[in-house]
Amino acid sequence: MSQISITLLRLGFLVLLWALVLAAIGVLRSDLYGTRVITRGRGRNARKPPGTRAEKVAAPSRSATGVRTGAISTLEPTAAHLAVTAGPLKGTTIPLGSAPVLVGRAPTCTLVIEDDYCSSRHCRIYLDGDRWLVEDLGSTNGTFLGNRRVDDPVPLNPGEKIRIGATSLELRN
């Protein structure tokens, strides 16, 4: 082989190496930009009259509306995901299908909460027809919907706050 083809192969190897790196980064782009951050600015608050409910909790449920890309078309229209609004897992969202969501300290739960006030199988949030129900599974410290302690299955509407120890959850559409 001539010197020039050797040089070309040598540089070609570096090009190929970078092609792989850049292609990998290209694949990651969707993941890097895979979240949409919506700032709760003044404009948003000014438009909505305050005071219907606690501002802190109500605002995210409004701002998250319409963000879903529609990839999960089988979802029930009532609620799209379960969001953690307070506690150590604050900011976590779980996309909801038709499967029930088990909340507790046991590692096998869908949402694992590390909290001394949380039982290993604490409560269950499941779909009944077209509405979501929350049911306490005999937890020691209770599941609270608003200020009421939940025993038997209670309907859960989007925006209503479930409290388990230091963690708060709510349904969002």
Partner 1 sequence: MATVSELRVHGGRRAELVLLGLAICLAILARALVDYHADYLVLSRLGVFAVGALALAGAAHLVVRIYAPSADPVLLPAVFALNGVGLAILRRIDYAYAARGRETDFGGTQTVWTVVGVALFVAVLLLLRDHRMLRRFTYTAGIVGIIAYMLPVVPGLGVEINGAQIWISLFGRSMQPGEFAKIALVVFFAGYLVSNRDTLALAGPKVLGMRFPRPRDMGPLLVVTLSALVIMVAQTDLGAALLFFGLFVGLLYVATERISWVVLGLGMFAVAVVAASTIFSHVAARYDAWLNALDPEVYSSGRSEQLVRGLFGMASGGLFGTGLGEGRPDLVPFAESDFIIASLGEELGLTGVMAILTLYLIIVQRAMRTAIGVRDGFGKLMASGLGFAIAIQVFIVVGGVTRVIPLTGLTTPFLAYGGSSMIANWIVIALIMRISDQARRPAMETP
Q: Tokens in use for 20?
A: 């792989």
User: In one letter, which amino acid is 39?
Assistant: T
* Residue 53 C-beta: closest distance to partner 1, Å: 16
Query: Cα(127)–Cα(88) distance, rounded to whole angstroms?
Result: 26
**Please, which residue, 78 or 92, has the CB nearer to partner 1?**
92
* Residue 22 C-beta: closest distance to partner 1, Å: 9
4-63 positions binding partner 1, by CB under 8 A: 6-7, 9-14, 16-21, 23-25, 27-28, 30-31, 33-40, 59-60, 63
Q: Tokens in use for 60?
A: 């995210």
Query: Cα(41)–Cα(150) distance, rounded to whole angstroms?
Result: 35
Tokens 């996309």: give the residue.
95
Q: How many CB atoms lie within 10 A of CB 64?
A: 17
Binding-residue pattern over the window 80 to 109 for partner 1, x denoting contact by CB under 8 A: --------xx-xxxxxxxxx-x-----xx-
Query: Cα(85)–Cα(169) distance, rounded to whole angstroms?
Result: 6
Q: How many residues bind partner 1 (CB under 8 A)?
A: 59
Q: Which residues pair with 132 in a beta bridge?
A: 127, 156
Could you tell me if 115 and 165 are in contact, meaning their C-beta atoms sit under 8 angstroms apart?
yes
Binding of residue 72 to partner 1 (CB under 8 A): yes
User: In one letter, which amino acid is 166?
Assistant: A
Binding of residue 73 to partner 1 (CB under 8 A): no
Closest CA to 156 of 101, 86, 93, 88: 101
**Please, which residue, 28 or 146, has the CB nearer to partner 1?**
28
**Please, which residue, 18 or 149, has the CB nearer to partner 1?**
18
Residue from 57, 58, 64, 133 in contact with partner 1 (CB under 8 A): 64
The binding site for partner 1 (CB under 8 A) comprises 1, 6-7, 9-14, 16-21, 23-25, 27-28, 30-31, 33-40, 59-60, 63-64, 67-69, 71-72, 74, 88-89, 91-99, 101, 107-108, 110-112, 114, 116
